[in-house]
Amino acid sequence: MILVIAEKPSVSASISKVIGAKSRKNGYFEGNGYLVSWCLGHLAEYVEPNEIDEKYVRWNYEDLPIIPEKWQLSVAEAKKEQFAILSSLLGRSDVEYVVNACDAGREGESIFRRVYVLTDCTIPMKRLWISSMEDAAIRVGFEALKDGKDYDSLYEAAECRAKADWLVGMNATRAYTTKYYKRLVVGRVQTPTLAMLVERQKKIDGFVKEAYYKVSLTGEGLTVTSENISDKTEADALADTCQGKTMKVTKLEKTRKTTKPPKLYDLTTLQREANRFFGYTAQETLDTLQELYEGKLVTYPRTDSQYITEDMKETVEELLLDIQTFTDFLPGMEMGKNVDRLINAAKVTDHHAILPTKEAVKADILHLPEKQKEIFMLISCRLAQAVADDLIYEETKVEALCEGSTFKAKGKTEISPGFQAVADAFRAHYVKSREEEERNVIPSTICEGMEIVNVEAKRSEHFTTPPKPYSEDTLLSAMETAGNKEFDPDTEKKGLGTPATRAGIIEKLVHSGYAVRKGKQILPTKDGCELISVLPDYIKSASLTADWEGKLLAVERGGLSAENFINDILGLVFTVLAGCNAIPEEERQRFDNRESVGTCPICGKPVYESKKNFYCSDKSCSFALWKESRYLASMKKSIDKKMAKELLEKGKTYVPDFYSAKKDASFGADLVMKLEDGRPAFSLEFPPRKDKGKGGKSTGKKGGKGKKK
């Protein structure tokens, strides 16, 4: 038997159909010599610190750094049943080898290998590596299975990424949280991304609007404009000087220009345009793409390439012959034939660009759910654009002189629309509203040396504008290019995160409360700004994190050892802790809005309330007043805030409603606190009674003390 393990049940079902494993069992398919099961995404994750050692349940700075001696994986409770099925299948004596059919990328490799490791599996391992879920692609993939060991470096890179995120996240988050008395979540990639949002918001908030002016002259259908003028009086004077005068065209320059078609989509570029056109988040686009991929309608989504390989040329040419049959905006248009410009094997790593599949020809695309249809049509549009001709236009530059001042204009006339015709057709069908490009048309009657009399002069007022907040589109672009200026021109640039992880990073920022969506904008919250305000530059550094992404790629390709990469990360962890040690006490109180309930009787520092006790703010001091104790429980009482304040101030507090089990009645007494070996000990004192005796005199008798705790 051959065991095949895919990432999801739907993918397993598609593979089973192709290879003949048609009998459905509990958690797997069987037939034709195959067993086909699935992982339900990540079945196993690295355990939290408190599962490594119970002491980590409480966040103590003194326990840092947390560096696992042995990295432990655990299976989520909801997925244990499927894990048991996989464990049983991997333990069968009749299984000749197992095929890793999880998604062909870093995470897919990790998902499979963790199950393989947790089950102590030793049977031979092979790898199915495909870029499409089409039946033909699956068949070809099974005919050319790779040795699983060929992907050891890919697995190492996946684990390096996971361990790095764990080490930085767990240690830095606990370090800054315990130092600042406020939950501050730090992430290897999400923190530099948040820093970009905060930096942009600072520029917006600090922007001071300034007015500037322009003077425009119009005559014979031509409008020319001055340079920006900062002084309103000067602008008015220029307009008055030129009003009704003659201007002479001193320069008219026409240049034919071309714009090449856009490249095919990689994941990030597609996410950006889906956000721009439809307002979809990066995660929505990725989820929709995954559905289309599993539905055999598009190729593998998590790609960073915008090209295809030579052997795909014929497939793409066939797609172009059929593309008008499964799109509703291309019929009647002449398709381009420039397939050769899509080919660049050197820029195709694990997967080629995102394309429609040949299966789409047979599918009912127009009746797909709206998101799927729009994303599919966007991919089809990009393919049609990429093979179309260049956009050809003529650019005209004009300069005119009037009363000693120069005015300019620029115009654009389309000669051949090329790929732009495809884009316009798509937008007419699918993009309800968009900003129209402002085009200044230069009349054909205008020529150099021409004099235009009696011009109309107008002064207009304008204002400088602040930077725009990030949208999902522009944030993805910034993440993709982060740190590029720090690197050599020849360095392979990978930015923050990877195409497969950037959507998740943005979602984490939103879900953690550090960023918020407002329409298409992504804005930092108050908590996000506060977090970035206290972190040092090396944690917020986009270039450092982008450099690590490059190193992860080097691990993936076998050019850097996993040990060296993790050592770099550990270096950062120790740098973080050294920096935290140097934070002054005054700075540590920055977010401390806690109300002090009194002064510690041992060291004199403030005492604060927590869920279970009243504790000294000095972590080196052991003083604590526990709300619940056996002594007080016997009298059905616990210490509240008012009692704690009086105990700290006076050493005693009157309690009117203690309970006596012996008498089954309530009574009043002073609860007295004294320190014994630095720990609070309690007793009761009964205040003098104020009973009226003979002659109206009071006879006060002091009661005895209760037992100490």
Answer with the one of 586, 608, 633 that is the final residue of a domain: 586
Among residues 586, 611, 628, the one where a domain terminates is 586
Give yes or no for residue 700 having a pLDDT over 60: no
Q: Please give the pLDDT value at position 590.
A: 87
Residue 706 in any domain: the answer is no
Residues 379 and 399 placed together within one structural domain of the fold: no
Which of 564, 586, 608 lies at the terminal end of a domain, its last residue?
A: 586
- For 223, the domain range is 211-260+395-416+440-463
- What would the pLDDT profile of 135-181 be if each residue is shown by its tens digit? 999 999 999 999 999 999 999 999 999 999 999 999 999 999 999 98
Residue 703 included in any domain:
no
For the stretch 113-133, pLDDT in tens is: 999 999 999 999 999 999 989
Same-domain status, 385 and 488: no
Query: What is the DSSP code (8-state) at residue 514?
Result: S
Cα–Cα distance between 492 and 481 in angstroms, integer?
A: 11
Considering the domain boundaries, does residue 702 fall inside one? no
Residue-wise pLDDT tens digits, 277-292: 999 999 999 999 999 9
Q: What residues contact 667, with CB distance under 8 A and at least 6 apart?
A: 658, 659, 660
Q: Is 428 among the domain residues?
A: no
Q: Are residues 140 and 179 in the same domain?
A: no
Mean pLDDT of 579-593: 87
| Same domain as 669, residue 683 | yes
List the CATH number of the domain containing 178. Answer: 1.10.460.10
Lowest average pLDDT, out of 215-224, 298-307, 585-594, goes to 585-594
In the chain, the number of structural domains is 5
In a domain, 707, yes or no: no
Active site (annotated) includes residue 300: yes
Strands 97-101 and 2-6: parallel
CATH number of the domain encompassing residue 406: 2.70.20.10
CA distance readout (Å), 59 to 159, 545, 577, 703: 26, 26, 14, 45
pLDDT band per the 50, 70, 90 thresholds, residue 489: very low
Do 120 and 184 fall within a single domain? Answer: no
Beta carbons of 353 and 300 less than 8 angstroms apart:
no
Q: Are residues 189 and 169 in the same domain?
A: yes
**Same domain flag for 176 and 229:** no
Query: Are residue 458 and residue 488 in the same domain, yes or no?
Result: no
- Longest CA–CA span in the chain (Å) reads 126
Query: Using one digit for the tens of pLDDT, what is the confidence trace for 177-216?
Result: 999 988 999 999 999 999 999 999 999 999 999 999 999 9
Q: pLDDT band at 431, cuts 50/70/90?
A: confident
- pLDDT score, position 350: 79
Q: Would the pLDDT of 248 be above 90?
A: yes
pLDDT at 237 over 70: yes
**Ordered alpha helix ranges (H), 512-556:** 526-534, 537-540, 542-556
Of the candidates 300, 307, 393, 615, the residue annotated as catalytic is: 300
Burial of 709 (0-12, 13-18, 19+ CB in 10 A): middle
Q: Has residue 221 been placed in a domain?
A: yes
Residue 433 confidence (pLDDT): 60
Looking at the structure, tell me whether residues 66 and 185 fall in a common domain: no
- Please tell me whether residues 272 and 377 are part of one structural domain: yes
pLDDT of residue 692 exceeding 50, the answer is no
Report the mean per-residue pLDDT for the chain. Answer: 91
Residue at 425 is within a domain: no
pTM: 0.82
Q: Which two tokens stand for residue 405?
A: 């001042």
Pairing of strands 2-6, 606-609: unpaired
Ranges 218-222, 266-270, 322-326: which has the least confidence = 322-326
Check pLDDT > 60 for residue 695: no
Is the same domain home to 566 and 619? Answer: no
Is residue 709 in some structural domain? no
Q: How far are the Cα atoms of 17, 268, 277, 386, 493 from residue 260, in angstroms, in the given order?
A: 43, 20, 21, 9, 23
Predicted confidence band of residue 438 (pLDDT cuts 50, 70, 90): low
Is residue 133 located within the same domain as residue 16? yes
